[in-house]
């Protein structure tokens, strides 16, 4: 099967990770998975929410949003509608959980990092691009705080790295990193979030059409793990610059 | 390892499915997974939302909610707060997707079924109990509409059955159908939704503590599939009464 | 005149009061007035709202809600609409005022009790069933706190009991405890809340059709007082178990 | 007992009804019960809400609100808080029901009248002043529509008049038309809404302190009926100008 | 050109400023610019918002609103819609900024004054009438606080006076203080806010039809400054009573 | 006086206008005024809002928003707060009015263009950058529709161009195009919106500190007009590419 953009089934879209995109944020990354572009900023503030005060532990949370015309037809702003939709809630929570999986709260100390992931242009896989980019912004914000000695010397709030990718079955073939057109046609859609050492942080698979069997599930997990490993290399390369 | 309530690792909690609980709804089920009790009602209405009119196809959707004192400490009502939280959104969407996986929209015709899953008492696994009970309420509502000839004779809107269960790793042991105390202690938590013929509709696994490896993931998937098969039997038995 | 369910004009529907319905709440009662079923939970927490701190006095408040399919046709959730309707507000306030009428705030001490009254199935008289059931849940929560010594020994926060019933004029006949079909046809509708010693806490009469004269009003008040006295017996019997 | 403003127990505060207060509304009345001042406007529009279309019947509804500094200390605007409070809802509903009690929907035809009752200055009894003033605004709006032939000649949408007054027991004495200071001290508070021919439209009595007995209730009902009769005279006089 | 109400182009509508309109507020003014009537109340409270505590400085803010039937056709209440519209926000902010321009925060001390400007009847120029009336209410509230010694003796929180007027070009002629019918027909509309000594606090000019050139802009500024000077005289006269 | 970034008082910051920034929108521009970066997308849809149907005329509207970390400290999302703030409302309305000033609704036909202006990075002057960039996006969207023949051949919906700039008095010197640090220190702040032929569409001047006199106002208007003329050249150059 030929993919719409000529990729092989197990091939990622071109990945770019542009660090220090914004002059204000402690970490800021414009990440692109092909035509999907997400601006990820990490805002570091001293102090923690009320329910965590005095614990000696920090907090990391995330908010995801799409610009109204990030997609092919304009969507209403959630601020105008006056409420956040279920999809936005779900993705924000996923990003937050994924990044917290590589955080040592004690080492972070009573500091808070908020990851804002704003989709500037969408072409499938916005949540996985967001996680992948947010990790780099998070690493930069932590380096910034270490440089400022806000995080005590010798402490390592990051216990590893995290990346994410979508996989799906389109016309019986398992494909890596679906673009929008593939995503629409997928019978099964899965998001896989892995640490840099190849373990799973989150696995979310959904039958869009017919239910899937264990063999298909296994193939998707294999593909997702491979894709995350490739993304991890891209993150390391970006952070090495 | 001894489980808190004396179960073996692969044992479900006592399952009860009380049909026709309410006099008003076309389908209504009080489902219990041990101390978790969820009232699932299926409301059948002729007609579909505006975006689906004229398609000849029906629609199925779900809303999940918890009574304020379903849990150990009272939670604020979402109606009083004026907005629905992320967790509620996420679970409502999961229930809706799970049930739509066994619906043939054409056979349903331009009719809508809303599944309301209200947790009266919570002790872990409320979303999986909700899916399992909602399926029975859905089947009853469809029978009702077939009896009334609102669904045309010979049409079978249900393509199969669906059930769900939580699995998790607690102290290195994979456990089936976690109660609240186990859920709190779980390192990894997964919800598995399967059809009656043993295929997967949805798989959501999350590392609560350390990331999990493929071996652990496989063990959880095995356990979840087994648990769903047991629940399917319970659903069939209830529907046979 | 024959009533739809064969009762005499001054006869209550079958009353059931099931205590300790929920394992979590300090008091929990499933009350039924015929087919009207309301789950009343009393949540006891130490401390009071900010505006009452340091007063040495407690607080009691109530929230009423209906499950979406408690009624014959499904109603939208107020959480989804993002606001609480006027009817809900009005009934929540009525329940709160009714229960506060039998509370000695000083004896309660700086503790708060929230009564949640959730209608699981509606067939007229939901607010009066809620008040009647909530009183029993309140009594149980207070006993719980006395048992835990959170309320000081010898203190009696309850100054009496409270019950409520609806009355109305249907086809010129005053009827007690209207079911839904009677309620719809009533020319005049009144809710009467009485203490166990036969005094009035709240009287709310509304002309649904033609205005009513003093003779009709007097007949309704008589009937309501009698009905409350019968309900009081039911409460006492339930609390004696 | 001497009342704070020198009135006898059964004496109303000075009543003024200023018609045509606003140049825009079809009916507009500035009503004063002593220092309580409410601007009541009646907005007449052709057509009815969707659920009433084609019925040949009209609709009348009401909205009540207080300016932020109508009271002794400033209250937040409900528009700023983003939601309407329970008290506002309750009073709006009471005003609407009270005025609908004297409306013949058929005679009104498919037209809608909205009564806006905005409290400019509050000193107790704002809801009863609102009902009393809104009736006059309603009558003026109906006259306007009759003059414009929007209501067909010969049709009389008003079946009578309606007025309302508060009564209460302060220091064991039943008092008519409580001002704010009396209202705060009242053990029992009742609002009585009567038609011009002396029948009851709504009776709402609440024990603020100790529950009240039937004798007290009877005394309050007598006083309320008398007060409404006096207010009816004031309404007639105003409409005769 | 003849103006609709017979005024000359540079003539204000009749101005009335009724002080102490309400018995509760520390300052309260019913201001009329012809048929435009705005009730302006100034609520003085000790203390400041959290973000200003400990600064030794006070705060002044404003809220503007229209009664639903202040205009020719009824508008929905913003409290019912659950949110404040853009126009209301914009005008509230303009009034606040205009009054703060004549406040010495240090002299005010840690006290807050809220100006509520509620339009009872609208006929164009509601925001400028609001600013002009609110200044007088503000001056009264400050006098009240000086009388109570809440503002320390010798301190003068007011550094000057402020007034506002609308100007516009209708049919090529610059006109002062537009009434509603003129406002609708204006090609260019400008609001001018000046201090009593003739300097500008705010200038907001908008091309409603064709863009305007510098000559027109200059003519409008001249007219606005003259109008504000006339209004200043009216304010002084009112405060001298 | 030396400006913080070395500019002369009447010098704009470096202007860049990047067209076709997004692959989805009919017009999309990333505009930069120095470090202020705004993504402006123009979404063209056939049809108009309900209130304009059948008029034969089109509609143009705008929404402005800031990403949470566009500024030096993170701001809460308006979608999370559940309501749009006054500043956002005010700026959205200004952008909409400014662009509508150069639109011929008849020539546009019954089509709607929504301009979304999302600030990715803020350094003062975000609303003026938004207007300037949105004009270019608008022109591109109109060209797109002309190319698709959605706008009938020969029709010219644009009657001119529009650009905007901020001016202010800092330390007695009138400065063009204030960056954030200058804006904070400005005694007077003005936004000037001009058409390409040098006429004014909107003028908004505010005294941040002391009120300003006519001489200062005139100097600011001169400077603003000059700045807009320079920006117009930049727009033309971008559109010529």
**What percentage of chain D exceeds 90 in pLDDT?**
95
Partner residues linked to B24 by β-bridges = none
B92 touches chain C (CB under 8 A): no
Distance CA B54, CA E137 (A): 61
Q: Is A74 exposed, middle or buried (0-12, 13-18, 19+ CB in 10 A)?
A: buried
Which chain B residues are within 8 Å of C39, Cβ to Cβ?
Answer: 67, 120
Is A225 in Cβ contact with B221 (below 8 Å)? no
Residue D2, pLDDT score: 78
Kind of pairing between the strands at A36-46 and F27-33: unpaired
The label of the residue with tokens 């035809």 reads D109
CB-based contacts of A230-237 (< 8 A; 24+ apart in sequence): A230/A12, A231/A12, A231/A15, A231/A132, A231/A163, A231/A164, A231/A165, A232/A161, A232/A163, A232/A194, A232/A196, A234/A15, A234/A17, A234/A132, A235/A17, A235/A132, A235/A135, A235/A136, A235/A161, A235/A163, A235/A196, A236/A161, A236/A196
Average pLDDT, integer, range A193-221 = 95
CB pairs below 8 Å between A and B: how many? Answer: 95
Residue C2 confidence (pLDDT): 77
Taking CA atoms, what residue in F is nearest to E86? F89
Instruction: Please check whether residue C169 is in contact with residue C191, taking contact to mean a CB–CB distance below 8 angstroms.
Output: no
Residues of chain A found within 8 Å of residue B85, distances taken between Cβ atoms: 89
Task: Count the Cβ atoms, other than its own, within 10 Å of residue B96.
Answer: 21
The pLDDT assigned to C1 comes to: 57
Q: Is residue C77 part of a domain?
A: yes
pLDDT tens column, A11-29: 999 999 999 999 999 999 9
Average pLDDT, stretch D11-33? 97
Structure tokens at E91: 């005008």
Q: What is the pLDDT of residue E1?
A: 57
F97 CB within 8 Å of a chain E CB: yes
> What is the pLDDT, as a whole number, of residue E139?
98
Asked if B206's CB is within 8 angstroms of A202's CB, the reply is yes
A221–B contact, CB cutoff 8 A: yes
Is some CB atom of chain D closer than 8 A to the CB atom of E10?
no
CB proximity under 8 Å: D 45-74 to E: 45, 63, 65, 67-74
Query: What string of pLDDT tens digits covers the 241 residues of chain F?
Result: 579 999 999 999 999 999 999 999 999 999 999 999 999 999 999 999 999 999 999 999 999 999 999 999 999 999 999 889 999 999 999 999 999 999 999 999 999 999 999 999 999 999 999 999 999 999 999 999 999 999 999 999 999 999 999 999 998 999 999 999 999 999 999 999 999 999 999 999 999 888 999 999 999 999 999 999 999 999 999 999 8
Q: Closest residue of F to A34, CA-based?
A: F23
Interface check C224 vs D, CB under 8 A: no
Among B69, B70, B82, whose Cβ lies nearest the Cβ of C82? Answer: B82
Query: How far is C220 from chain B, CA to nearest CA, in Å?
Result: 30
Does F69 count as an annotated binding residue?
no
pLDDT score recorded for residue F1? 57
* pLDDT tens-digit readout, A29-81: 999 999 999 999 999 999 999 999 999 999 999 999 999 999 999 999 999 99
Are F96 and F135 contacting, i.e. CB atoms less than 8 angstroms apart?
no
C111-121 vs C188-195, strand pairing mode: unpaired
**F82 and A CB contact within 8 Å:** yes
Closest-CA residue to C217 (of D116, D200, D104): D200
The reply to whether D25 falls in a domain is yes
Q: Tokens for D166? A: 């508060």
Give residue-wise pLDDT tens across range B143-157: 999 999 999 999 999
pLDDT digits (tens, 9 = 90+) for A89-107: 999 999 999 999 999 999 9
Burial B147-168 (b: 16+ CB within 10 A, else e): eeebbeeeeebbebbbbbbbbb
Query: Cα dist. B196→B37, B101, B193, D149 in Å?
Result: 22, 12, 10, 68
Among candidates C130, C120, C133, C132, which has minimal Cα distance to C37?
C120
pLDDT for the residue numbered A1: 57
- Within-domain flag for E90: yes
Residue F218 included in any domain: yes
Using CB atoms, which residue from E84, E88, E121 is nearest to D23? Answer: E121
Subunits in contact with chain F (3 or more CB pairs closer than 8 Å): A, E
- Kindly report, residue by residue over E93-142, the tens digit of the pLDDT: 999 999 999 999 999 999 999 999 999 999 999 999 999 999 999 999 99
Confidence at residue F2, expressed as pLDDT on a 0 to 100 scale: 77
> From the list F92, F197, F207, which residue is nearest E201 (CB)?
F207
In this predicted structure, the answer to whether residue B219 has a pLDDT above a threshold of 90 is yes
- Per-residue b/e over D110-144, b at no fewer than 16 CB within 10 Å? bbbbbbbbbbbbbbbbbbbbbbbbbbbbbbbbbeb
Interacting residues of F214 by C-beta distance below 8 A, sequence separation 6+: E200, E221, E225
F201 Cβ neighbours under 8 A, 6+ residues apart: E206, E207, E211, F97, F98, F101, F102, F162, F193, F194, F195
- The answer to whether E7 and E13 have CB atoms below 8 angstroms apart is yes
* Residue in C with minimal Cα distance to B25: C69
Query: Which residues lie across from D37 on neighbouring strands?
Result: D32, D121
Low-confidence residues in chain C, pLDDT < 70: 1
Q: Measured between alpha carbons, how far is C113 from A142 in angstroms, rounded to an integer?
A: 45
Q: Which residues of B touch A211 (CB under 8 A)?
A: 101, 160, 194-195, 197, 199-201
Q: Report yes or no on C4 lying in a domain.
A: no
Q: Which two tokens stand for residue F151?
A: 């706008």
Query: In the predicted model, what is the mean pLDDT of chain A?
Result: 96
Rounded CA gap, B212 and B206, in Å? 9
Q: How many CB atoms lie within 10 A of CB E52?
A: 15
CB contact under 8 A, F23 and A35: yes
Residue E126 assigned ligand-binding role:
yes
Q: Which residue from F minimizes the CA distance to E88?
A: F86
Rounded CA separation A85/C222 (Å): 52
Cβ contact E65–D79 (<8 Å): yes
Residues of C whose CB is below 8 A from D207: 101, 199-202
The set of chains that have 3 or more CB pairs under 8 A with E is D, F
Residue of chain D whose alpha carbon sits nearest to that of E75: D43
Collect all residues of chain C within an 8 Å Cβ-Cβ radius of residue D203.
Answer: 190, 203-205, 217
Residue F124 marked in a binding site: no
pLDDT digits (tens, 9 = 90+) for D39-84: 999 999 999 999 999 999 999 999 999 999 999 999 999 999 988 9
Q: In whole numbers, what is the pLDDT of chain C averaged over residues? A: 96
Q: Is E28 left (phi over 0), alpha (psi -120 to 50) or beta?
A: beta
Percent of chain E with pLDDT over 70: 100
Query: Could you tell me how many residues make up chain B?
Result: 241
What span, in angstroms and rounded, lies between the C-alpha atoms of E117 and E115?
6
Q: Is residue E7 part of a domain?
A: no
Write down the pTM of the prediction: 0.92
> Which of E93, E202, E210 lies closest to F90 in CB terms?
E93
Residue showing tokens 């053990």: D187
Does A1 reside within a domain?
A: no
CA quadruple E182, E183, E184, E187: dihedral, nearest 10: 100
Q: Does residue A204 sit at the B interface (CB-CB below 8 Å)? A: yes
In the predicted model, what is the mean pLDDT of chain B? 96
Q: F23 to chain E nearest CA, in Å?
A: 31
Structure tokens that stand for B28 in this block: 């209504």
Domain that holds residue B108: 13-238
* A156 pLDDT more than 70: yes
pLDDT tens figures, A217-240: 999 999 999 999 999 999 999 999
As given in the structure block, the two tokens for residue B217 are 């993931």
For residue A28, tell me if it sits in a domain.
yes
Q: What is the mean pLDDT of chain D?
A: 96
Closest CB from D41, D71, D78 relative to E69: D41
Q: Is the model's pLDDT at A158 over the cut of 80?
A: yes
- Chain D positions in Cβ-Cβ contact with residue C85 (cut-off 8 Å): 89
For the stretch E189-210, pLDDT in tens is 999 999 999 999 999 999 988 8
Q: How far apart are CA A62 and CA A47, in angstroms?
A: 16
Contacts of C87 in chain D (CB under 8 A): 93
Distance separating alpha carbons of residues D153 and D139, to the nearest angstrom: 16
The CATH number for B149's domain is: 3.30.230.70
- The count of domains in chain B is 1
The pLDDT of residue B208 is 85
């Amino acid at each position: 099967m030929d993919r719409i953009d000529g990729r092989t089934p197990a091939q990622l879209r071109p990945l770019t990770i542009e660090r220090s995109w914004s002059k204000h944020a402690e970490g800021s990354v414009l990440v692109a998975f092909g035509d999907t572009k997400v601006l990820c900023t990490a805002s570091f503030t001293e102090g923690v929410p009320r329910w965590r005060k005095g614990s000696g532990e920090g907090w990391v949370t995330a908010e995801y949003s799409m610009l109204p015309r990030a997609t092919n037809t304009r969507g209403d702003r959630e601020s105008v509608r006056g409420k956040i939709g279920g999809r936005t809630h779900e993705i924000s929570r996923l990003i937050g959980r994924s990044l917290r999986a590589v955080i040592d709260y004690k080492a972070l100390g009573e500091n808070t990092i908020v990851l804002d992931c704003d989709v500037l242009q969408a072409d499938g896989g916005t949540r996985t691009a967001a996680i992948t980019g947010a990790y780099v912004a998070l690493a930069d914000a932590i380096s910034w705080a270490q440089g400022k000695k806000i995080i005590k010397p010798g402490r390592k709030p990051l216990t590893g790295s995290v990346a994410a990718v979508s996989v799906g079955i389109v016309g019986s073939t398992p494909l890596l990193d679906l673009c929008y057109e593939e995503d629409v046609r997928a019978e099964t859609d899965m998001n896989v979030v892995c640490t840099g050492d190849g373990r799973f942080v989150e696995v979310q698979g959904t039958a869009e059409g017919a239910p899937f069997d264990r063999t298909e599930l296994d193939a998707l997990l294999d593909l997702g793990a491979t894709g995350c490993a490739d993304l991890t290399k891209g993150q390391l390369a970006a952070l090495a610059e």
